Copies of this chain bind each other. A is one copy, B any other.
Amino acid sequence: MRMSTKAQYAVRALVSLNLTSDGRPVSIKEISQIEKISLHYLEQLFVKLRRGGIVNSVRGPGGGYVLARSAADISMDQVIETVEEALMPLSCMDADGSCNCEAECTTQSVWHGLGMQIRSFLASVSLEDLTNDGRRQLACRVANI
């Protein structure tokens, strides 16, 4: 059971975007420098995020990305489902992908239940929550050093 670094990167990038932006577009070059994530890799992530309706792009000089809607309306499950294919895929172990209901279905109820749990938890965390965490942490770091 693990969360892909892709999803972790996407979340970090969005927090960074929200922290940096004051309404103006933020270039992924900036985010790349702040978060120390490869520029090209970020581009790939933001293509998905844009197609998923999480961010909007602004082209041309001074362009970049902006959140497509309020940070409070962006939940983590949306973000993760956008950059990954599925939040909680199950391997049914059949060549054709269908479920043969012999043995594995016995335990599928657990995995489905778990998937629901994960989904609902991630749905309860908004980008705004994380950004506030980030702001608080930033303030602490500044105060300490």
Give the bracket for the number of chain A residues in contact with chain B: 35 or more
A98 at the interface (CB under 8 A from B): no
Q: How far is the CB of A81 from chain B (nearest CB, A)?
A: 9
Q: How far is the CA of A64 from the CA of B95 in the complex (A)?
A: 31
Provide the residues of chain B in CB contact with A109, threshold 8 Å. Answer: 130, 133
Q: How far is the CA of A36 from the CA of B106 in the complex (A)?
A: 14
Count of identical protomers in the assembly: 2
- Tell me the chain A residues, 78-100 only, with Cβ under 8 Å from chain B: 80, 84, 87-91, 93
Contact (Cβ within 8 A) B5 A93:
yes
A7 at the interface (CB under 8 A from B): yes
Provide the residues of chain B in CB contact with A137, threshold 8 Å. Answer: 105-106
A142 at the interface (CB under 8 A from B): no
Q: How far is the CB of A114 from chain B (nearest CB, A)?
A: 6
- Tell me the chain A residues, 97-144 only, with Cβ under 8 Å from chain B: 101-107, 109-111, 113-114, 117-118, 121-122, 125, 130, 133-134, 137, 141
Contact (Cβ within 8 A) B2 A2:
yes
A12 at the interface (CB under 8 A from B): yes
Given A1-B1, A3-B114, A12-B104, 5 more pairs with CB closer than 8 A: A1-B7, A1-B118, A34-B103, A106-B130, A118-B118
